[in-house]
Amino acid sequence: MESTTLVNSLGIGGAIFAAVVLLWFLRTFVKRQMTTNHSNAVSASAPQTSWEEKRKHPRVAVSWPAQMETSDGQIDVQLRDISLGGAFVVCQHPLPLTQQFSLTIRAPGNTPFTLNSEVVWSNINVPADKVINRGMGVRFIQNTGEDRQRLNKVIMAHLEENME
């Protein structure tokens, strides 16, 4: 009788142990499946990387007059945003991609200063009804450390002025 009770106890204990292992396995399997499905759904619905995310320097909204010096002469333009790396230049006739030119910036309350620039994108081929501001994105290239410090100072002054 004792041996029957021992066998029954071992059988019940073994069954409980097997059930716990089986439940653990099922929980782990379901959890992994849900994580994989969620990851796939998130990556499938994730938006493409925007230009803002690719930029090294954050842009600051401005409305500053500027002047482009090109081989065709001087052209008055407007800056809509600016960073230490580049700017958006509003102009009716954007320059071709990779064209280099001098950009004289006339930030309010500051002496005008000039930066070497290069066209990196343009919305010239976008239909007029789809464009808010016709223009081009430029990056600042081959400028001295003094030029970059001046740009940084002007941007910081603009940010401080707009925080008040």
pLDDT of 30 > 60? The answer is: no
Asked if residue 72 and residue 26 are part of one domain, the reply reads: no
Asked if residue 79 and residue 3 are part of one domain, the reply reads: no
Instruction: List the CATH number of the domain containing 96.
Output: 2.40.10.220
Query: Which residue has 């029954």 as its token pair?
Result: 8
Query: Which residue has 């343009």 as its token pair?
Result: 122
Asked if residue 28 and residue 85 are part of one domain, the reply reads: no
Cβ pair 106, 112 in contact under 8 A? yes
Where is 102: in which H helix or E strand? Answer: strand 100-105
Confidence of residue 156 (pLDDT cuts 50, 70, 90): very high
The tally of domains found in the chain comes to 2
Asked if residue 99 and residue 144 are part of one domain, the reply reads: yes
The residue ranking higher by pLDDT, 20 or 81, is 81
Asked if residue 72 and residue 36 are part of one domain, the reply reads: no
Asked if residue 32 and residue 71 are part of one domain, the reply reads: no
Q: How far is CA 120 from CA 45, 64, 138, in A?
A: 29, 20, 5
Cα separation, 111 vs 113, whole angstroms: 6
pLDDT for res 29 = 62
Cα separation, 69 vs 74, whole angstroms: 5
Percent of the chain with pLDDT over 70: 66
CA 69 centroid distance within chain: 30
pLDDT for res 15 = 63
Asked if residue 63 and residue 30 are part of one domain, the reply reads: no
Asked if residue 20 and residue 93 are part of one domain, the reply reads: no
- State pLDDT tens for residues 136-150: 999 999 999 999 999
Tell me phi and psi for residue 145, to 5 degrees.
Answer: -60, -35
Asked if residue 102 and residue 143 are part of one domain, the reply reads: yes
Asked if residue 92 and residue 25 are part of one domain, the reply reads: no
For 108, which DSSP code?
T
CB-based contacts of 28, cutoff 8 Å, min separation 6: none
Asked if residue 85 and residue 24 are part of one domain, the reply reads: no
pLDDT for res 34 = 55
The residue ranking higher by pLDDT, 120 or 58, is 120
Amino acid present at 131: V
pLDDT of 164 > 70? The answer is: no
- State pLDDT tens for residues 53-84: 555 667 899 999 999 998 889 999 999 999 99
Asked if residue 145 and residue 76 are part of one domain, the reply reads: yes
Domain range holding 28? 1-46
